[in-house]
Amino acid sequence: MNTHNRFALMLLMFIMFITMSGIGLIVPIMPLYLQAFGAAGQVLGFLIAIIAFAQFIFSPLAGNLSDRIGRKKLIVFGLIVNGAAQIGFALSGQLVELFFWRFLTGVGSAFIMPSVMAYAADITTLEERGKAMGLIGAAISFGFMIGPGIGGALSNVNLHFPFYFAGSAAILTAIVALIFLPKTTPAMAPTASKASNNIAKELVRSVKKPYFVMLIVVFIFSFGISNFQATLSMYLTYKFDYSPNDIAILMTVGGFAGVIIQGVLLGRLFKRFGELRIVLWSLVVAAITFILMIFMSGYFVILFVATLFQIATTLIRPAINTLVSKSAGNEQGYAAGMNNAYMSLGNMIGPALAGTLLDWKLDSPFILGAIILFVGYIILFAWSRKQASL
């Protein structure tokens, strides 16, 4: 990769960090923030879910547009929308306004994420792509990991300040991207002119793509990750009476380990084992750790198991992104958009179903998560065997 493209990749990583940390900073603030609106946990759950809903609806549109008009314009537009939504959220006086601005946050990120993935594909060769996707995945994971910490630290000023800060950071990043991010010229896909912006039609269209099985795996592992993240804190609180600080350490250590592996070792792992094998083994490890969580006790044992889960899931994301990209040909934007749509679908359904099961039986979300991830392994393994025999 030449210096020009390396700089562009680093800027893409920074863009994804700003986007993801802005989404994540809501977590520690909202319990107190929502008290002024007379709301509590259920509203917080819907505020988180509505971002995934917006991403699910708008990601295919963003992917198609990035193939037609270019990646840079959509990245800049998405950052501006995100910035405005964060500031609007801080200025809101009614509960309905919070939902509106949070929905726009999801819209902005829907335009950013597939465009960034497609841009990375534009500037890398097939051999370089795995490492590039790993670096972007590390930026995403790092943003998710550090976002709540940023939100908590900035809330010492006041509860509104983190949103003003995040909004200003997104708008400044948009200006930086506008000035310094080089333009790419995406190849016009033969089917792009026929592409629909209707999400149902786009999902049907995705079934016919050679990477459809990978999209199913994207949905499955997104379901598993969001299942784990949505229920872990409540599970550990109910079962072991862990404090928020105990749980924060569990999540941070695992997230940090995943970031280190993505940023330092992922390229070597891809070269040695291949993306497909990485996904298969990571699905198995993630499923096993789901089951282990039910039987483990002792803080450091649980810390170890939770860290294994987060390492496995952070390996899956860039590996599956690379497999989709390599199969997408000249439809990089569309493929990245559908990738994000399937991920958002998992992020919507996973927490809703896991939360319902948690109220029924404490261990049930982890059992469901393990089953879902094992099913993903079986589907991908069967598909890989079929491809090998062709």
Residue spans of the domains in the chain: they are 3-183+198-389
More confident residue, 25 or 72: 72
Query: Buried (b) or exposed (e) across 274-294, using 16+ Cβ within 10 A?
Result: ebbebbbbbbbbbbbbbbbbe
pLDDT band at 390 (very low <50, low <70, confident <90, very high): low
Q: What pLDDT is stored for residue 27 in this prediction?
A: 67
**Rounded distance between C-alpha atoms, residue 62 and residue 71, angstroms:** 9
Give the contacts of 152 (CB within 8 A, at least 6 positions apart): 28, 29
Q: What is the rounded distance in angstroms from the CA atom of residue 303 to the CA atom of residue 307? A: 6
The residue among 86, 112, 118 whose CA lies nearest residue 17 is 112
Whether residue 228 has pLDDT greater than 80: no
Mean pLDDT on 275-297? 90
* CATH architecture observed for domain 3-183+198-389: Up-down Bundle (1.20)
Whole-number pLDDT of residue 67: 80
The mean of the pLDDT values for the chain is: 82
For residues 135, 224, 145, 279, the Cα torsion angle rounded to the nearest 10 degrees is -20
Residue 184: how many CB atoms within 10 A of its CB?
A: 18
Judged against a pLDDT cut of 70, whether residue 110 lies above it is answered with yes
Q: Which residues contact 253 (CB under 8 A, 6 or more apart)?
A: 303, 306, 307
Over 50: is that where the pLDDT of 51 sits?
yes
Largest CA distance in the chain: 61
Least confident range of 157-171, 206-220, 247-261, 370-384: 247-261
- Rounded to the nearest 10 degrees, how much is the dihedral formed by the CA atoms of 327, 334, 191, 187? -80
Winning range, highest mean pLDDT, from 96-110, 238-252, 306-320: 96-110
The Cα 139–Cα 12 span in angstroms is: 9
Are 143 and 66 within 8 A, CB to CB? no
Q: For residue 192, what pLDDT band results from cuts at 50, 70 and 90? A: very low
**How far, in Å, CA of 295 to CA of 318, rounded?**
30
Say what percent of the chain tops pLDDT 70: 91
Q: What is the structure's pLDDT at 163?
A: 94
Task: Note the pLDDT of residue 56.
Answer: 80
Q: Is the pLDDT of residue 188 over 60?
A: no
Q: What is the pLDDT of residue 190?
A: 43
Mean pLDDT of 182-187: 71
Q: How far apart are CA 50 and CA 318, in angstroms?
A: 24
Half-sphere exposure of 292 (CA within 13 A, CB side): 16
Task: Report the pLDDT averaged over residues 63-87.
Answer: 91
* pLDDT, mean of residues 162-174: 95
Q: Which range, 20-24, 25-29, 87-91, has the best average confidence (pLDDT)?
A: 87-91
Q: What percent of the chain has pLDDT over 90?
A: 25
> Is 173 a residue whose pLDDT tops 60?
yes
Q: How many CB atoms lie within 10 A of CB 360?
A: 8
Q: Using N-to-C axis directions, what is the helix angle for 266-273 and 299-328, rounded to 10°?
A: 60
pLDDT level of residue 239 (50, 70, 90 thresholds): confident
- Taking the whole predicted model, whether its pTM rises above 0.85 is answered as no
Q: Is 233 exposed, middle or buried (0-12, 13-18, 19+ CB in 10 A)?
A: middle
Distance CA 219, CA 230 (A): 16
Q: Tell me what the mean pLDDT of segment 296-304 comes to.
A: 89
Look at residues 131, 121, 135, 309 and name the one whose alpha carbon lies nearest to residue 221. 309
pLDDT of residue 19: 93
